[in-house]
Amino acid sequence: MRRSTVERATAETSVKLTLCLDGTGIAQISTGVGFLDHMLTLFARHGNFDLNIEARGDVEVDFHHTVEDVGICLGQAISEALGNKAGISRYGDVTLPMDEALVLCAADVSGRPYLSFDMTFPTEKIGEFDSELIEEFFAGLVRQSGLTLHLKKLDGRNSHHIAEAAFKAFARALAKAVAADPCSAGRIPSTKGIL
Protein backbone atom coordinates (compact mmCIF):
# COMPACT_ATOMS: atom_id res chain seq x y z
CA MET A 1 0.00 0.00 0.00
CA ARG A 2 1.45 3.34 -1.03
CA ARG A 3 0.79 5.62 1.94
CA SER A 4 2.21 8.82 3.36
CA THR A 5 1.56 11.21 6.22
CA VAL A 6 2.53 14.87 6.06
CA GLU A 7 2.36 17.52 8.76
CA ARG A 8 2.96 21.22 8.23
CA ALA A 9 2.78 23.97 10.84
CA THR A 10 3.32 27.66 10.17
CA ALA A 11 2.27 30.86 11.90
CA GLU A 12 -0.77 30.84 9.57
CA THR A 13 -1.82 27.20 9.29
CA SER A 14 -1.58 23.73 10.75
CA VAL A 15 -2.16 20.76 8.44
CA LYS A 16 -2.06 17.01 9.05
CA LEU A 17 -2.71 14.88 6.00
CA THR A 18 -2.69 11.13 5.35
CA LEU A 19 -2.95 9.73 1.83
CA CYS A 20 -3.25 6.18 0.51
CA LEU A 21 -2.96 5.95 -3.27
CA ASP A 22 -4.27 2.36 -3.18
CA GLY A 23 -7.49 3.13 -1.37
CA THR A 24 -11.22 2.92 -1.95
CA GLY A 25 -12.16 6.61 -2.09
CA ILE A 26 -12.78 7.18 1.61
CA ALA A 27 -12.31 10.79 2.72
CA GLN A 28 -12.38 12.53 6.07
CA ILE A 29 -11.71 16.18 5.35
CA SER A 30 -11.89 19.14 7.72
CA THR A 31 -10.07 22.27 6.59
CA GLY A 32 -12.37 25.01 7.83
CA VAL A 33 -13.06 25.85 4.16
CA GLY A 34 -16.28 24.13 3.16
CA PHE A 35 -15.83 24.38 -0.60
CA LEU A 36 -12.30 22.96 -0.38
CA ASP A 37 -13.58 20.08 1.75
CA HIS A 38 -16.15 19.34 -0.97
CA MET A 39 -13.55 19.40 -3.76
CA LEU A 40 -11.11 17.17 -1.86
CA THR A 41 -13.86 14.68 -1.05
CA LEU A 42 -14.59 14.49 -4.79
CA PHE A 43 -10.87 14.09 -5.50
CA ALA A 44 -10.59 11.14 -3.10
CA ARG A 45 -13.71 9.42 -4.40
CA HIS A 46 -12.96 9.79 -8.10
CA GLY A 47 -9.32 8.76 -7.72
CA ASN A 48 -10.08 5.92 -5.30
CA PHE A 49 -7.63 7.50 -2.89
CA ASP A 50 -8.09 7.37 0.88
CA LEU A 51 -7.53 10.87 2.21
CA ASN A 52 -7.65 12.29 5.72
CA ILE A 53 -7.01 15.98 6.29
CA GLU A 54 -7.25 18.00 9.49
CA ALA A 55 -6.34 21.63 8.86
CA ARG A 56 -6.68 24.86 10.76
CA GLY A 57 -5.80 28.23 9.34
CA ASP A 58 -6.31 31.96 9.60
CA VAL A 59 -9.64 31.80 7.78
CA GLU A 60 -10.70 34.97 9.58
CA VAL A 61 -8.22 36.73 7.25
CA ASP A 62 -9.23 34.74 4.17
CA PHE A 63 -8.93 31.20 2.81
CA HIS A 64 -5.69 31.71 0.87
CA HIS A 65 -3.15 30.31 3.35
CA THR A 66 -5.24 27.26 4.19
CA VAL A 67 -5.95 26.39 0.56
CA GLU A 68 -2.33 26.83 -0.53
CA ASP A 69 -0.90 24.88 2.42
CA VAL A 70 -3.31 21.98 1.93
CA GLY A 71 -2.21 21.88 -1.71
CA ILE A 72 1.44 21.88 -0.61
CA CYS A 73 0.81 19.02 1.83
CA LEU A 74 -1.13 16.94 -0.70
CA GLY A 75 1.68 17.41 -3.20
CA GLN A 76 4.25 16.25 -0.65
CA ALA A 77 2.08 13.26 0.23
CA ILE A 78 1.72 12.23 -3.42
CA SER A 79 5.48 12.41 -3.91
CA GLU A 80 6.27 10.46 -0.74
CA ALA A 81 3.66 7.79 -1.41
CA LEU A 82 5.07 7.16 -4.90
CA GLY A 83 8.63 6.60 -3.70
CA ASN A 84 10.94 6.00 -6.68
CA LYS A 85 7.92 5.62 -9.02
CA ALA A 86 8.99 2.22 -10.31
CA GLY A 87 6.28 0.33 -12.17
CA ILE A 88 3.79 3.20 -12.55
CA SER A 89 2.11 4.14 -15.81
CA ARG A 90 3.44 7.72 -15.39
CA TYR A 91 0.91 9.42 -17.70
CA GLY A 92 -2.79 9.96 -17.28
CA ASP A 93 -5.38 12.14 -18.99
CA VAL A 94 -9.11 12.68 -18.82
CA THR A 95 -11.64 14.96 -20.47
CA LEU A 96 -14.43 15.21 -17.93
CA PRO A 97 -17.95 16.62 -18.33
CA MET A 98 -19.86 18.12 -15.41
CA ASP A 99 -23.19 19.27 -16.78
CA GLU A 100 -22.33 22.19 -19.11
CA ALA A 101 -18.69 22.26 -17.98
CA LEU A 102 -15.97 20.32 -19.75
CA VAL A 103 -12.41 20.16 -18.40
CA LEU A 104 -9.32 18.43 -19.77
CA CYS A 105 -6.63 17.26 -17.36
CA ALA A 106 -3.34 15.62 -18.34
CA ALA A 107 -0.73 14.55 -15.79
CA ASP A 108 2.85 13.35 -16.08
CA VAL A 109 4.57 12.04 -12.94
CA SER A 110 7.77 13.47 -14.36
CA GLY A 111 9.62 14.82 -11.33
CA ARG A 112 9.53 18.20 -13.11
CA PRO A 113 6.94 20.52 -11.56
CA TYR A 114 4.99 22.46 -14.15
CA LEU A 115 1.42 23.76 -14.09
CA SER A 116 -0.46 24.91 -17.16
CA PHE A 117 -3.72 26.32 -15.78
CA ASP A 118 -5.89 27.49 -18.66
CA MET A 119 -9.14 27.93 -16.76
CA THR A 120 -11.42 30.90 -16.26
CA PHE A 121 -14.37 31.18 -13.91
CA PRO A 122 -17.42 33.33 -14.67
CA THR A 123 -17.62 34.49 -11.04
CA GLU A 124 -14.94 35.73 -8.65
CA LYS A 125 -16.47 33.70 -5.84
CA ILE A 126 -18.08 30.30 -5.47
CA GLY A 127 -20.13 30.90 -2.36
CA GLU A 128 -17.54 32.42 0.00
CA PHE A 129 -14.61 30.80 -1.84
CA ASP A 130 -12.41 32.91 -4.14
CA SER A 131 -12.26 31.22 -7.55
CA GLU A 132 -8.61 32.27 -8.00
CA LEU A 133 -7.63 30.00 -5.09
CA ILE A 134 -8.17 26.93 -7.26
CA GLU A 135 -5.05 27.83 -9.23
CA GLU A 136 -3.17 28.51 -5.96
CA PHE A 137 -4.11 25.05 -4.70
CA PHE A 138 -2.85 23.30 -7.82
CA ALA A 139 0.31 25.46 -7.95
CA GLY A 140 1.26 24.43 -4.42
CA LEU A 141 0.46 20.78 -5.16
CA VAL A 142 2.51 20.71 -8.38
CA ARG A 143 5.58 22.35 -6.80
CA GLN A 144 5.73 19.71 -4.08
CA SER A 145 4.66 16.63 -6.05
CA GLY A 146 6.89 17.14 -9.08
CA LEU A 147 3.95 16.62 -11.41
CA THR A 148 3.61 18.17 -14.83
CA LEU A 149 -0.07 19.09 -14.88
CA HIS A 150 -2.25 20.61 -17.56
CA LEU A 151 -5.76 21.77 -16.68
CA LYS A 152 -7.82 23.33 -19.44
CA LYS A 153 -11.44 24.45 -19.45
CA LEU A 154 -13.02 23.50 -22.75
CA ASP A 155 -16.50 24.72 -21.86
CA GLY A 156 -18.54 25.90 -18.90
CA ARG A 157 -20.73 28.69 -17.57
CA ASN A 158 -21.18 27.69 -13.92
CA SER A 159 -18.14 28.28 -11.68
CA HIS A 160 -19.05 25.47 -9.27
CA HIS A 161 -19.40 22.97 -12.12
CA ILE A 162 -16.09 24.08 -13.67
CA ALA A 163 -14.24 23.68 -10.37
CA GLU A 164 -15.85 20.32 -9.71
CA ALA A 165 -14.92 19.09 -13.18
CA ALA A 166 -11.30 20.19 -12.57
CA PHE A 167 -10.94 18.27 -9.30
CA LYS A 168 -12.65 15.16 -10.65
CA ALA A 169 -10.57 15.25 -13.83
CA PHE A 170 -7.38 15.66 -11.81
CA ALA A 171 -8.32 12.72 -9.60
CA ARG A 172 -8.97 10.42 -12.54
CA ALA A 173 -5.89 11.52 -14.49
CA LEU A 174 -3.68 11.06 -11.43
CA ALA A 175 -5.20 7.64 -10.73
CA LYS A 176 -4.26 6.55 -14.26
CA ALA A 177 -0.76 7.99 -13.95
CA VAL A 178 0.04 6.28 -10.63
CA ALA A 179 -1.56 2.95 -11.60
CA ALA A 180 0.70 -0.04 -12.10
CA ASP A 181 1.81 -0.60 -15.68
CA PRO A 182 1.71 -4.38 -16.25
CA CYS A 183 4.20 -4.09 -19.11
CA SER A 184 6.87 -2.22 -17.13
CA ALA A 185 8.14 -5.16 -15.04
CA GLY A 186 8.63 -2.72 -12.17
CA ARG A 187 11.00 -0.44 -14.09
CA ILE A 188 11.24 3.33 -13.73
CA PRO A 189 9.15 4.69 -16.64
CA SER A 190 11.96 6.84 -18.07
CA THR A 191 15.06 6.28 -20.21
CA LYS A 192 16.90 8.43 -17.65
CA GLY A 193 16.41 5.75 -15.01
CA ILE A 194 15.01 8.26 -12.54
CA LEU A 195 11.93 10.46 -12.21
> What pLDDT is stored for residue 103 in this prediction?
99
Using the predicted structure, report yes or no on whether residue 179 has a pLDDT greater than 90: yes
- Identify whether 69 is part of a domain: yes
Question: Among 2, 29, 3, which Cα is nearest to 16's?
Answer: 29
- Identify whether 75 is part of a domain: yes
- Identify whether 192 is part of a domain: no
Question: pLDDT tens digits for 26-57?
Answer: 999 999 999 999 999 999 999 999 999 999 99
- Identify whether 23 is part of a domain: yes
- Identify whether 194 is part of a domain: no
- Identify whether 45 is part of a domain: yes
Using the predicted structure, report yes or no on whether residue 185 has a pLDDT greater than 90: no
The string of DSSP codes covering 7-72 is EEE-SSEEEEEEEETTS-S-EEEE-S-HHHHHHHHHHHHHHT-EEEEEEEE-TTT-SHHHHHHHHH
- Identify whether 188 is part of a domain: no
> What pLDDT is stored for residue 175 in this prediction?
98
- List the domain range (segments joined by +) for residue 24: 3-178
Average pLDDT, the chain: 97
In the chain, the number of structural domains is 1
> What pLDDT is stored for residue 65 in this prediction?
98
Question: pLDDT tens digits for 72-120?
Answer: 999 999 999 999 999 999 999 999 999 999 999 999 999 999 999 999 9
pLDDT band (50, 70, 90) for residue 16: very high
- What CATH number is associated with residue 97? 3.30.230.40
- Identify whether 50 is part of a domain: yes
Identify which has the larger pLDDT, 1 or 113: 113
Q: Compute how many other C-beta atoms are within 10 angstroms of the C-beta atom of residue 30.
A: 12
Radius of gyration of the chain (CA): 16
